[in-house]
Amino acid sequence: MPSANVLEQKKQVVAQLVETLKSAQAGVLVDYRGITVEQDTQLRAKLREAGVEYKVVKNTLTRFAAKEVGFEALDEQLNGPTALAISTTDAVAPAKVISDFAKEVEALQIKAGFVDGKVISLDEVKTLASTPSREVLIAKIMGSLNAPISKLVRTLQALVDNGVEPAEIGAAAPVADEAPAAEEVAAEAPVAEVAPAAEEAAAEAPQAE
């Protein structure tokens, strides 16, 4: 029967695995049986370069941890030698690195994986591996954002090259002539003839007998 110290150590390992699974964006379980020491070193280097943590885990303890975080579907895959590749920052990296390496080293077998708290199958791991990485997606987004800016810069430069001063670029359209001032309108408008004065009208009227 395991001693109290051994049981405590196992509890700590399970607790650490629980935290690892909770904090991971994605992970892949593999059977590493059959790969050479050199191949294992190469795989670890590639994973480390991609920011992926890689460790060999015990199936029994991993089963306890998986159950605690809701990954019971991994239970049937926790047989034979098992290693876990996880990333806390990139949901694609573990699947991509492992899948690419498995194409070159057939001895490395993918068991299953998980992403965003959901267990995924071998086929789904391969599908995830074909998804562009975070860096590639960011580069594409930045490229699409920069395209209109680049076009605007080229247009402005063309105007400058043609002799248009920068201050003139985008200047407002000429303002229409202001309406003549009220007094000018009044001065220029034809003045209506004034009716004859009253006395002139009276003088011209025929005198009564």
Read out DSSP for 12-74? HHHHHHHHHHHH-SEEEEEE-TT--HHHHHHHHHHHHHTT-EEEEE-HHHHHHHHHHTT-GGG
Give the integer Cα–Cα distance in Å for 181 and 185: 6
Tell whether 93 is covered by a domain.
Answer: yes
160 inside domain: yes
For residue 75, the domain's CATH number is: 3.30.70.1730
- On whether residue 177 sits in a domain, the answer given is no
Question: Between these two residues, 142 and 116, which has the higher pLDDT value?
Answer: 116
Q: Is residue 148 part of a domain?
A: yes
Residue 152: domain span? 136-166
pLDDT in tens, 58-88: 999 999 999 999 999 999 999 999 999 999 9
- In this prediction the pTM is 0.62
27 and 110 share one domain = yes
Question: Which of 105, 131, 157 is where one domain is finished?
Answer: 131
Angle (deg, nearest 10), helices 93-104 and 37-49: 150
**Residues 20-61 pLDDT 10s:** 999 999 999 999 999 999 999 999 999 999 999 999 999 999
